[in-house]
Amino acid sequence: MLDRRYRLAFWSDWRRAAACVGVGVAGFLAWDGAGLALGIFARGDSPHMTGLLLAPELPVEEAFFLALLCYSTLLAWLALARRAARRGPAHSGGRGPAHSGGRGPT
């Protein structure tokens, strides 16, 4: 697993990584729920779906996709933070992930 080898997210600080992915998935599931309730979203049919539902019209595959989306976004953010930290504060202009109050990745 690359996360373990390079100490990316869960092997660097598993509590913060789990909170980040969990909050993101919960937020997107709430968004999906609102979209389903308003009739904006609908469940499509595919032979590749399991048929398991988290809620009416909400397939279980959606939760896995959202977890992957949030985890990938977290990895991209950490990559940018590490790159900015290597370049130093003179190159980041006082913005971005390198200036998160000293709470960036180590």
Asked whether residue 89 is domain-assigned, the answer is no
Asked whether residue 64 is domain-assigned, the answer is yes
Contacts of 74 (CB under 8 A, 6+ apart): 9, 17, 20, 21, 24
Asked whether residue 94 is domain-assigned, the answer is no
Asked whether residue 95 is domain-assigned, the answer is no
Number of domain units in the chain: 1
Render pLDDT for 11-53 as a digit per residue (tens, 0 to 9): 889 999 999 999 999 999 999 999 999 999 988 888 888 999 9
Asked whether residue 18 is domain-assigned, the answer is yes
State the first-to-last Cα distance of the chain, in angstroms, to the nearest integer: 19
pLDDT for res 104: 55
Contacts of 3 (CB under 8 A, 6+ apart): 9, 10, 11
Asked whether residue 36 is domain-assigned, the answer is yes
Asked whether residue 97 is domain-assigned, the answer is no
Percentage of the chain modeled with pLDDT above 70: 83
Its domain, for residue 21, covers 9-40+51-81
Asked if residue 97 lies in contact with residue 104, where contact means CB atoms within 8 angstroms, the answer is: yes
Q: What 3-state DSSP class applies to 35? A: helix
Asked whether residue 91 is domain-assigned, the answer is no
What CA–CA distance (Å, rounded) separates 45 from 65?
16
